[in-house]
Structure 1
Amino acid sequence: MTMFPFDVAATGVGATAGPETGRTGTETRQAGNGGTAVVSALAAEGVEVVFGIPGTHNLELYRALADTPIRHITTRHEQGAGYAADGYARATGHPGVCFVTSGPAVNNIASAVGTAHADSIPLLVVAPGPPRGQEGADIGGLHEMRDQRGHMAGVAERSVRVDSAAQAATVIHETFARWRTARQRPVFLEVPLDVLDAAWDGQHPPRPSPPPGPAASSDDLARAAELLAAAGQPALLVGRGAIGAAREVRHLAELLAAPVVTTVTGKGVLDETHPLSVGASVRLGPAQELLTAADTVLVVGSTLSDAELWGWRPELPGTVIRIDIDAGSLTKNLVPALAVHADASAALHALAERLASDDHAAAVNPATLHAARSRAGQARDASAAVAARDAGPWAPLNQALSAALPATTIVAGDSSQVTYYGTAHHWTARAPMRLLYPTIYATLGYGLPAGIGAKLGRPEAPVVVLVGDGALMFSVAELATAVEQRIALPVIVVNNHGFGEIRDGMLAAGIAPVGVELVTPDFALLGRAFGAYGVRVTGIDDLVDATRRALDADRPTVIEVDADTVEWR
């Protein structure tokens, strides 16, 4: 696994604001407090955008925020803030940051934190907590929880309660430092109310250097190169942990003449138009057969999770090599012959150098490359056929949009059929970080706020939200956020009038459908009520035209596609 690097640009924001004169003209307010310490630390780490909702208990964060160039985006629900920050992180490679208040707000953002943890997304959530000495007091304080920090420990990688402003700043710097050389997962920071309010001396703690990342041993690299060079039919399987190593993946695949299969979270790590790409098809039988037939499989940056493989157990008969920055992931779900604990980019680069040396340079010839491309093409075409059969109408919709829109388009999806049957397999990704999809946690309500976060982080890129009606209703209030930000965001909702996947599952199990046939609003009209544009389309050509226009609009556009009446072609 490799970390997608994020830039650190110190903003020069001072530790304290200038003194404020009180109403009498003689009183002054302490310039710096715990809120200032938090915001100053974020500014020093180059944070440009914070998502959240102001509340009674986090006002001191907002007092400090007003004195910095950090942009605040107010969402309509804390879960939306978390998903927007997640989408921002996935689309930009920079960590997402959220401010929420205590108690119910923390509960609201917990699903977003769980989503970020499952898919390895760098997300920092800052919230106030009870004053020091009142943790778990059960005295009926406003927003009181039994154990807020403990609650978030169940969904975050780290959940930290601090005792001072300096410690809060230190935790922020440590978090960003760790993200640069380790697996990126969410962190929850609880700052007691009295710490937020208390005076801060303005002394910035030293920013720690990133801890050294794991480096592959010379012996492991030599053994891996030997195994790969000797392989007659090698293959690569790459996941999200390889998104920062796209160039190295391509170079190594070409050196080895190895077909490349990706997980959905690794979609686009190898350009899906490349002749060695099998696509994001590890869920599908033809790709699995290719991997099973390979005599050596190099797995990079993937835990081979059930959510990625859809029940397939990868008991590969060939030699398996795994590379991952997270030591604990090297043996999950499949024990390899060789486990290489290292950053993916560095390890793949070192492997390529060895394979290009005189010792291994003759391993690949034109006939071998032709055969590898043929295997990749056959698996790609067969996988596409299987995916089209499973996807039904979601396939032509995604294919048409993918063909018509710019290759740089970012698609924000959801745990909707149109996403996991459609976009995952039928939208051609030319690069990583183009599909935003909560693969493992499989939450509903992700797509719209994630699309908002992506567009705010990448305003120059076309961003499209493509979700089902059930998914959109989980976070439909964020249409107001998109309108407020005046972003050109097509929000395509494919309306099959309920929870289609669950309805299908009930029928397949012989269960009479219960709770899945839903009343849905007029989505186009709803969009207009929020202040967006709203249209309804009846065919794929109309959908393509409406989406193109929406990408150039001065505000979001809700585009409703009725799955029961649209002409799918």
Structure 2
Amino acid sequence: MTGTTVSDKAMTCGQALVKLLEAYQVDTVFGIPGVHTLELYRGLPGRNIRHVLSRHEQGAGFMADGYARVTGKPGVCFIITGPGLTNIATPMGQAYADSVPMLVITSVNETHTLGKGWGRLHETQNQRAISEPLTEFSATAYQADDIPDLIARAFAVFRSARPRPVHIEIPLDVLATPVGRDWTTEVRVASERPVPTQGAIAAAANLLKAAQRPVIVAGGGAVDAAEAVTELVEQSGATFFSTVAGKGILPDTHPNNAGAILCTEPAWDYVESADVMLAIGTELADTDMWRDKLPFNGKLIRVDIDPGKMNDLYPAAVAIVSDAKAAAMALSQQLDGNSTAEPVADAVSQLRRRVRESQPPLQQKHLAVLDVLRRCLPADAVVATDMTQIAYTGNYSFPVDQVRSWLHPTGYGTLGYGMPAGLGAKIGAPDRPCVVLAGDGGFLYTLQELATATEELDSCFVVLLWNNDSLGQIRDDMVALDIPPIGVSPTNPDYIKLAQGFGCRAVQPQSLAALETDLKEALNHPGVTLIEMHESAVP
């Protein structure tokens, strides 16, 4: 497309980029304005794009992550050169590990200075050397006309491949350059997602038809295929497990749904007896299993959009490189209820009961709190969790009936994720109640984003702070390994006063009954509430 000529004063490259993002239906950007991103911010007034001011670039990245997980759209960030990029590198790593679409647009020093080491403001010798391991691709726009191609490439990743972060850096001189032609409406439709071959579907269907004890494991790559996967479970008679990212693909009450319990010993025993496993949209990573590898010795069918997953720790007997929904629909049509699988509803019910009853005392405390939380929350609520022991228990025990409702930093395992990710989720889905579940250690990483929350939100947003006055998991790991606990019992601040200082409601229930009352009140409060629940308050 040649576009039309515009006058030099009409639009800088930064302005044009913002207009192009609007054409790609971007409605929100997260970031902090700086001297190196002024031309991007010049482009925001008059556009239908909401800017959310984070208080740290790490917060902006986690907000973009939460927004993307709930909406399915890429979270977009505007970030300055150098320290802005290094600050957002951790959220980029988290999004990469969990296959979350994120577009990070940064500035970089003037084109003629790159790599020179002249000591320019915010200078980093090679920004892309930082971002490349954390992204699907990282690229530099050396001229304004590079931008539409790079944005189209980014959205092709988000829409037709395994969604992961993309980093595009733009030199300051390019950002300020007047565009020579109007490419701001050059939206390119991404290529379609891959669909399965008939031969692969037939081979997989034959294995499932003959299976006596089939299991299906679905992950984050299948969240947009929930209806098709449910149909496939019912056609095959398989026991269903989800990963943490796949919670809600089947309603928790479905009789074949064992839940996200693959990190528990009873589930390991169950999987070991399976003769066929269909893994759909999941890496089968050890962060979901809490062990290096599942004890599975049967035939494995893998459905994944990423061909690199077909021969890793779990080589596939049948490999189907495909969009999850297309593959699940095709398999269901082939099966058409023609399965020899043994009935599983009773076995699944017993399995779930075994998992709950086998929990040690600390996890029983967690379950008591999580039960209260589940009773109080409506079915469409979002729970954004941090790396904290109570969230680990919730990963396999908290019931979820719809996808994009339980957010957890599974792969990278980043402390400080929960608060800003929950805020991004709330911004992306403002009509859904949102609760953040964080521990005292992780909460301190990003609590400054309470300022953003009180500034941006006028409906209920709840932070449930689980306080055990320690880095509990690390402390317990040290004790288990005979290492004297060091650095795991920090002195905590007064969280109630801190929250009030940010303008939040803040309460400190002393019992489970009080917690239930406080949660109900918080869910009816048009703003931010911090609920600090101390471990000692739970019997």
Relative to the length of structure 2, the TM-score reads 0.96
- Contact 1:277 1:380 survives alignment (8 Å): no
**3-state SS of paired residue (2:411):** coil
- Contact 1:52 1:81 survives alignment (8 Å): yes
Show CA shifts across 1:328-379 (max 9, x none).
01222211211111111001101111111xxxx4435xxx66x211222222
Select the residue among 192, 201, 205 that pairs with 2:180: 201
Structure 2: 5+ residue stretches without partners: none
- Contact 1:253 1:276 survives alignment (8 Å): yes
Counterpart code for 1:363: S
- Contact 1:388 1:395 survives alignment (8 Å): no
Looking at structure 1, the residues matched to 457 and 278 of structure 2 have their Cα atoms a distance apart, in angstroms, of 45
Which residue in 2 is equivalent to 1:38?
17
Q: CA deviation at 1:387?
A: 4.5
- Contact 1:178 1:211 survives alignment (8 Å): no
1:187-336 superposed matches below 5 A: 187-204=166-183, 206-336=186-316
- Contact 1:83 1:449 survives alignment (8 Å): yes
Counterpart code for 1:58: T
Alignment partner of 1:86 is 2:46? no
Which residue in 1 is equivalent to 2:422?
451
Counterpart code for 1:303: E
**3-state SS of paired residue (1:65):** coil
**3-state SS of paired residue (1:154):** helix
Counterpart code for 2:242: T
Alignment partner of 1:490 is 2:462? yes
**3-state SS of paired residue (1:561):** strand
Deviates most, 201-210 or 182-191: 201-210
Which residue in 2 is equivalent to 1:10?
none
Moved over 4 A (4+): 14-17, 387-390
Select the residue among 49, 69, 76 that pairs with 1:97: 76
Looking at structure 2, the residues matched to 312 and 58 of structure 1 have their Cα atoms a distance apart, in angstroms, of 44
Looking at structure 1, the residues matched to 396 and 288 of structure 2 have their Cα atoms a distance apart, in angstroms, of 13
Looking at structure 2, the residues matched to 397 and 425 of structure 1 have their Cα atoms a distance apart, in angstroms, of 14
Deviates most, 159-168 or 184-193: 159-168
Select the residue among 540, 545, 559 that pairs with 2:512: 540
Deviates most, 499-508 or 185-194: 499-508
1:457-472 superposed matches below 5 A: 457-472=428-443
Deviates most, 513-522 or 109-118: 513-522
Alignment partner of 1:146 is 2:152? no
Alignment partner of 1:478 is 2:454? no
The alignment yields a C-alpha RMSD, in angstroms, of 1.8
**3-state SS of paired residue (1:57):** coil
Select the residue among 506, 518, 521 that pairs with 2:490: 518
Count of residues in Structure 1 that have an aligned counterpart in Structure 2: 535
Q: CA deviation at 1:233?
A: 1.5
Looking at structure 2, the residues matched to 16 and 290 of structure 1 have their Cα atoms a distance apart, in angstroms, of 66
Counterpart code for 1:169: P
Which residue in 1 is equivalent to 2:52?
73
- Contact 1:231 1:296 survives alignment (8 Å): yes
Looking at structure 1, the residues matched to 42 and 243 of structure 2 have their Cα atoms a distance apart, in angstroms, of 43
Which residue in 1 is equivalent to 2:339?
363
- Contact 2:108 2:172 survives alignment (8 Å): yes
Distance 1:544 1:441, change over 3 A: same
Q: CA deviation at 1:425?
A: 2.2
- Contact 1:387 1:425 survives alignment (8 Å): no
Q: CA deviation at 1:215?
A: 2.0
Looking at structure 2, the residues matched to 16 and 501 of structure 1 have their Cα atoms a distance apart, in angstroms, of 60
Deviates most, 491-500 or 202-211: 202-211
**3-state SS of paired residue (2:244):** coil
**3-state SS of paired residue (2:118):** coil
Alignment partner of 1:499 is 2:471? yes
Counterpart code for 1:375: A
Show CA shifts across 1:130-166 (max 9, x none).
1112111110100001111221112122111111222
**3-state SS of paired residue (1:491):** strand
Show CA shifts across 1:224-268 (max 9, x none).
111111111211011111111111111011111111011111111
Quote the sequence identity (%): 38
- Contact 2:365 2:538 survives alignment (8 Å): no
Counterpart code for 1:180: R
- Contact 2:229 2:249 survives alignment (8 Å): yes
Counterpart code for 1:295: D
- Contact 1:410 1:462 survives alignment (8 Å): yes
Counterpart code for 1:57: H
Counterpart code for 1:545: T
- Contact 2:217 2:277 survives alignment (8 Å): yes
Q: CA deviation at 1:315?
A: 4.2
Q: CA deviation at 1:15?
A: 9.8
Select the residue among 402, 409, 412 that pairs with 1:431: 402
- Contact 1:32 1:201 survives alignment (8 Å): no
Show CA shifts across 1:493-518 (max 9, x none).
11111211111111111111111111
Deviates most, 388-397 or 514-523: 388-397
Distance 1:208 1:512, change over 3 A: same
**3-state SS of paired residue (2:135):** coil
- Contact 2:416 2:443 survives alignment (8 Å): yes
Alignment partner of 1:111 is 2:60? no
Distance 1:312 1:413, change over 3 A: same
Looking at structure 2, the residues matched to 363 and 425 of structure 1 have their Cα atoms a distance apart, in angstroms, of 29
Looking at structure 2, the residues matched to 306 and 294 of structure 1 have their Cα atoms a distance apart, in angstroms, of 19
